[in-house]
A and B are shown apart, each in its own frame.
Chain A
Amino acid sequence: MSEGKETPILEMVGIGKRFGGVTALTGIDFDLRRGEVHGLVGENGAGKSTLMKIIAGVHHGYDGEMRIDGQPVHFRSARDALAAGIGMVHQELSIVPQLSVAENVFLGVQPTNGLGVVSWGRMKREAREHLQLLGIDIDPSRETGTLPIGMQQLIEIGRVLFSGARIVILDEPTSALSPPEVKHLFEVLGRLKAKGTTFVFISHFLEDILEVSDRVTVFRNSRKVATVDAASVDKAWVIEQMIGAGHHELADAMLGEIRLESPKGAPVVFSARGLSRPRSFADVSFDVKAGEVVGLYGFMGSGQTELARALMGKARLHGGTVSMGGQEIRLRSTADAKKAGIALVPESRRAMLFTHEPVYKNISISILERISRLLLKPAEERRIAQGHVDALRIRPFSVEPEVRKLSGGNQQKVALARWLTHLPRLLVLSEPTKGMDVGAKDDVVKIVKGLKEKGVAVVVASAEPETVLTMADRILVMRKGQIAQEFAERGVSKDQLLAAA
């Protein structure tokens, strides 16, 4: 193919974008070729989402020029962008789980008869045909929410395509998928690109990007670092481009083999025997020693998230026993768990922060009953909180701003700081570094190390292999709600983990 001469389907020249005084993008030249998958990588805040939002019509005040098929365009809204053939599939899917597959495919544009009544027969028939083109053979009257996430995602991609998109932006499409689902997605992408659809593929999963993309563009600090043919580079090179120098620990975890070492002779703090909860996990038994970090790794939906919630008393256990320091405890509520010395940092930041309250109230909430009986002691709260803000380098270095004004990584640190004043005996972290950039991830790893040294037993549940590999001393791999394999006191690599899950 004479790619060099063909007019790019989309071309951007000298794109710059500022938010107030902050530069989000500067001097970006970017182009998409018809029928390619274009991978986009970079840390959070590097600028890739901002660029995609400009393409998708979300941001419209920017410098530089965008051309589609050689014609200059300037979108005022996402609707404009869609009319020009640009669609976006967000990480949080926008399908409606209660509706049927056909209704989701035609959401908002149901085929109607002359009277404006939805013609269900036609809708189902067309939905089935459309989906078959993607290689999906599914009953269009099924309730979408009952399908696996991977299938829901394909249905959403289908919807974007049927609404006329020629360029589809996929934001982290594989983060919730199991390997077979990823494989299926890639097959579908391959088939669609052969027909001329262009994809932008944004992901933190570098293997996925390198496998599926024709070209890859790397962003760092609001700038484009490079655009290269995916076949000509490897993961190590991409990581180096993404993060620059430093952050070796994490780079190692992404690349090499980790040696696990459990604390020998430390007392067992927590033990679980035969825990089960229908449709989540079954017959799960494990111990955690003082100062030990146990990783629970599994693909999304393997049960580790629900297990973490159950340990905090948030999801009811239907069988099995839990004991702390040899004493059997009951976990009927989060208050029970807290009384037993168990703390959980759940997977979503929204579930742990009071965004409209100042930082210090967010940090002090879990220790209020220790520092005050009846009356609050705001000065004491501020003093403790300020200590954490300084120690964890939470920016800005103040305890007064409302948490919603902090960046995502700093919010996560605030959530962790809550458990550092009066240490829990068992800390359960669910997806502690999800969606964080490398620097903030490093900080979280350091915080967990600090806790470990103080003898806190830690459970880290995650679907990201890097997360458990960087933090855990011992890794339990969960598959379909059961512990499939344990890695302890020997080398383990990401490949081994993935193979076991």
Chain B
Amino acid sequence: MNADVASAAGREGGSIGRWVAGRLTNLAPLVTLLFLVLVFSLMAPSFATLDNLGNIMRQVSITAIIATGLTFVILTAEIDLSVASIANAVGIVVAYFTLQETYVNIANVPMPGAVAILFALLAAFALGTVNAVGVTVIGIPSFIMTLAMMQIGAGISALLVRGQIAYAIPDPVRFLGSGMMGPFPSIVVVACLFLLVGHLVLTYTRFGRYVYMVGGNREAAEFSGVNVKLVIAAVMIISAVCCGVAGMLGVAYYGSAQQNEFDDYLLDSIAAVVVGGTSLFGGQGGIPNTILGLLVLGVLNNGLDHIDIDSFLKVLIRGLILLLALIINVYAQRLRNRAA
């Protein structure tokens, strides 16, 4: 009872301005999103349609799965630059263990579909474990460790396909990546599921709390007896496994497995997490922020295709809008911190 009275009093005590300031990190990306939707709707009649909404959802699904894992990593104030590279490698691994058409000139090792998927997931787990060991046991900063892993992943991809393109993948992967679940594209359903589970884990489990605490103040977490290294190892592995799934489904989504297929996803996934308002310094943010970031990014990428501008200019515009979103975020965060 005491707690209720006290917290109610606290809520009444704060003015509306302070309430807004306290939530600016969440409101800023929401405002950006609404602004983008409004602008694109006015500029292109083809933008604000149900059909196009479906397009946007499909287009952000792979990023969403990667960003789910990346949110865990960034919340602990670490970074994973190997996400796209691991996704690519794992996508190729699953194709490598699948029987390809004869015209595909790859010395692959055909296995039953379930085994191929298992191997791919194990590969993702193993790459994540290497990241985890490098960061926690050896003590390499995650920025450098995952930069190395980015190269390793690219190397694995190159070795397995040797410049070729593989097409065949196990049926379950094909279904999840490019099939439909009733009226919904399965990849959207999978992405939503990942985001949901990620959110539940971060919000309602002890592990999730530890993720926030490690990111909020690593030393304090350590002094509280939290096994910080284990938490960081876990998030690195979670990230790699999410990437692995994204990689497999991505191969199905694009219909092929080849080198450098996922290169855009590194920036996209980091941008989604950060534009959404999750702090790169750790401890603040979460999956709801990531969802907002994904939508901002998805609307931006999609909307620019609907309006009639120089396609060479689009990349620049996209960069500038992302910069603007980040600037708004930084100021929002500063205001929030001052609202004490």
Q: How long is the Cα–Cα vector from A408 to B217 in the complex, in angstroms?
A: 17
26 A-B residue pairings within 8 Å (CB atoms): A334-B225, A335-B230, A337-B225, A344-B223, A346-B219, A350-B220, A351-B220, A352-B219, A352-B223, A354-B220, A354-B221, A356-B216, A357-B216, A361-B209, A365-B224, A366-B224, A368-B209, A368-B210, A375-B206, A390-B2, A397-B2, A398-B6, A398-B9, A400-B3, A402-B340, A418-B224
Contact B217 A386, beta carbon cutoff 8 Å? no
Given A337-B225, A376-B204, verify A351-B219 contact (CB < 8 Å). yes
Contact B222 A334, beta carbon cutoff 8 Å? yes
Q: Top 3 closest A-B pairs, CB basis?
A: A338-B225, A398-B6, A354-B216
Q: How long is the Cα–Cα vector from A259 to B222 in the complex, in angstroms?
A: 36
Contact A374 B222, beta carbon cutoff 8 Å? no
Contact B6 A334, beta carbon cutoff 8 Å? no
Interface residue A369 (Cβ < 8 Å from any Cβ of B): yes
The one of A338, A375, A404, A405 in contact with B205, judged by C-beta atoms closer than 8 angstroms, is A375
Interface residue B10 (Cβ < 8 Å from any Cβ of A): yes
Q: How long is the Cα–Cα vector from A357 to B211 in the complex, in angstroms?
A: 13
The one of A333, A351, A382 in contact with B3, judged by C-beta atoms closer than 8 angstroms, is A382
The one of A346, A375, A402 in contact with B223, judged by C-beta atoms closer than 8 angstroms, is A346
Interface residue A312 (Cβ < 8 Å from any Cβ of B): yes
Q: How long is the Cα–Cα vector from A356 to B283 in the complex, in angstroms?
A: 8
Q: Which residues of B contact A335 (CB under 8 A)?
A: 225-227, 230
Most buried by A among B204, B209, B210: B209
Q: Which residues of A contact B224 (CB under 8 A)?
A: 352, 365-366, 418
Q: How long is the Cα–Cα vector from A354 to B223 in the complex, in angstroms?
A: 11
Smallest CB–CB gap between A266 and chain B, Å?
25
Contact B2 A386, beta carbon cutoff 8 Å? yes
Q: How long is the Cα–Cα vector from A374 to B205 in the complex, in angstroms?
A: 5
Q: Which residues of B contact A314 (CB under 8 A)?
A: 222-223
Q: Which residues of B contact A355 (CB under 8 A)?
A: 216-217
Q: Which residues of A contact B6 (CB under 8 A)?
A: 386, 396-400
Q: How long is the Cα–Cα vector from A365 to B216 in the complex, in angstroms?
A: 12
Q: Which residues of B contact A402 (CB under 8 A)?
A: 340
Interface residue A373 (Cβ < 8 Å from any Cβ of B): yes
Contact B213 A405, beta carbon cutoff 8 Å? no
Contact B221 A333, beta carbon cutoff 8 Å? no
Query: How many residues belonging to B are interface residues under a CB distance threshold of 8 Å?
Result: 30
Q: How long is the Cα–Cα vector from A404 to B339 in the complex, in angstroms?
A: 11
Q: How long is the Cα–Cα vector from A373 to B206 in the complex, in angstroms?
A: 7
Q: How long is the Cα–Cα vector from A114 to B6 in the complex, in angstroms?
A: 66
Interface residue A372 (Cβ < 8 Å from any Cβ of B): yes
Q: Which residues of A contact B210 (CB under 8 A)?
A: 368
Given A353-B220, A354-B216, verify A400-B10 contact (CB < 8 Å). yes
Q: Which residues of A contact B7 (CB under 8 A)?
A: 398-400
Given A374-B206, A375-B206, verify A352-B220 contact (CB < 8 Å). yes
Q: Report A377-431 residues with CB < 8 Å from chain B CB.
A: 382-383, 386, 390, 396-402, 404-405, 418
A316-358 near B? 1/0 per residue, CB < 8 Å: 0000000000000000011101110001111000111111110
Smallest CB–CB gap between A379 and chain B, Å?
9
Q: Which residues of A contact B2 (CB under 8 A)?
A: 386, 390, 397
Q: Measuring CB to CB, which residues of chain A are less than 8 angstroms from any residue of chain B?
A: 312, 314, 333-335, 337-339, 343-346, 350-357, 361, 365-366, 368-369, 372-376, 382-383, 386, 390, 396-402, 404-405, 418
Q: How long is the Cα–Cα vector from A343 to B224 in the complex, in angstroms?
A: 8
Q: Which residues of B contact A372 (CB under 8 A)?
A: 206
Q: Measuring CB to CB, which residues of chain B are less than 8 angstroms from any residue of chain A?
A: 2-3, 6-7, 9-10, 204-206, 208-210, 212-213, 216-217, 219-227, 229-230, 283-284, 340
Q: Which residues of B contact A369 (CB under 8 A)?
A: 206
Q: How long is the Cα–Cα vector from A396 to B206 in the complex, in angstroms?
A: 27
Q: How long is the Cα–Cα vector from A403 to B283 in the complex, in angstroms?
A: 14
B6's nearest neighbour on chain A, judged by CB, is A398
Smallest CB–CB gap between A402 and chain B, Å?
7
Q: How long is the Cα–Cα vector from A290 to B217 in the complex, in angstroms?
A: 32
Q: Which residues of A contact B10 (CB under 8 A)?
A: 396, 398, 400-401
Q: How long is the Cα–Cα vector from A333 to B219 in the complex, in angstroms?
A: 12
A400's nearest neighbour on chain B, judged by CB, is B7
Contact B217 A375, beta carbon cutoff 8 Å? no
B222's nearest neighbour on chain A, judged by CB, is A334
Taking A335-B225, A398-B9 as known contacts, 5 extra A-B pairs with beta carbons closer than 8 A to each other, sorted by chain A number, are A350-B219, A354-B217, A356-B216, A368-B209, A376-B205
Smallest CB–CB gap between B75 and chain A, Å?
12
The one of A346, A356, A365 in contact with B221, judged by C-beta atoms closer than 8 angstroms, is A365
Q: How long is the Cα–Cα vector from A333 to B9 in the complex, in angstroms?
A: 41
Contact A375 B340, beta carbon cutoff 8 Å? no
Q: Which residues of B contact A386 (CB under 8 A)?
A: 2-3, 6
B11's nearest neighbour on chain A, judged by CB, is A400
Q: How long is the Cα–Cα vector from A211 to B246 in the complex, in angstroms?
A: 71
B284's nearest neighbour on chain A, judged by CB, is A356
Q: Which residues of B contact A312 (CB under 8 A)?
A: 223
Q: Which residues of B contact A337 (CB under 8 A)?
A: 225
Q: Which residues of B contact A351 (CB under 8 A)?
A: 217, 219-220, 223
The one of B206, B209, B340 in contact with A405, judged by C-beta atoms closer than 8 angstroms, is B340
Contact A383 B213, beta carbon cutoff 8 Å? no
Q: Which residues of A contact B223 (CB under 8 A)?
A: 312, 314, 334, 344-346, 351-352
Contact B340 A404, beta carbon cutoff 8 Å? yes
Given A334-B223, A346-B223, A418-B224, verify A354-B213 contact (CB < 8 Å). yes
Q: Which residues of B contact A356 (CB under 8 A)?
A: 216, 283-284
Smallest CB–CB gap between B195 and chain A, Å?
19
Q: Which residues of A contact B9 (CB under 8 A)?
A: 398
Q: Which residues of A contact B205 (CB under 8 A)?
A: 374-376
Contact A365 B226, beta carbon cutoff 8 Å? yes
A309's nearest neighbour on chain B, judged by CB, is B223
Smallest CB–CB gap between A255 and chain B, Å?
34
Q: How long is the Cα–Cα vector from A382 to B3 in the complex, in angstroms?
A: 7
Q: Which residues of A contact B204 (CB under 8 A)?
A: 375-376
Q: Which residues of B contact A346 (CB under 8 A)?
A: 219, 223
Q: How long is the Cα–Cα vector from A369 to B284 in the complex, in angstroms?
A: 22
Q: How long is the Cα–Cα vector from A418 to B225 in the complex, in angstroms?
A: 11
Q: How long is the Cα–Cα vector from A338 to B213 in the complex, in angstroms?
A: 17
Q: How long is the Cα–Cα vector from A250 to B149 in the complex, in angstroms?
A: 58
Most buried by A among B204, B222, B223, B226: B223
Given A314-B222, A351-B219, verify A376-B209 contact (CB < 8 Å). yes
A373's nearest neighbour on chain B, judged by CB, is B206
Smallest CB–CB gap between B21 and chain A, Å?
13
Q: Which residues of B contact A400 (CB under 8 A)?
A: 3, 6-7, 10
B13's nearest neighbour on chain A, judged by CB, is A396
Q: How long is the Cα–Cα vector from A374 to B229 in the complex, in angstroms?
A: 19
Q: How long is the Cα–Cα vector from A31 to B227 in the complex, in angstroms?
A: 54
Contact A357 B340, beta carbon cutoff 8 Å? no
Q: Which residues of A contact B221 (CB under 8 A)?
A: 354, 365
Contact B206 A383, beta carbon cutoff 8 Å? no
Smallest CB–CB gap between B281 and chain A, Å?
10
Contact B206 A376, beta carbon cutoff 8 Å? yes
Contact A398 B3, beta carbon cutoff 8 Å? yes
Q: Which residues of A contact B340 (CB under 8 A)?
A: 402, 404-405
A349's nearest neighbour on chain B, judged by CB, is B220
Smallest CB–CB gap between A240 and chain B, Å?
35
Q: How long is the Cα–Cα vector from A397 to B6 in the complex, in angstroms?
A: 7
Smallest CB–CB gap between B233 and chain A, Å?
13
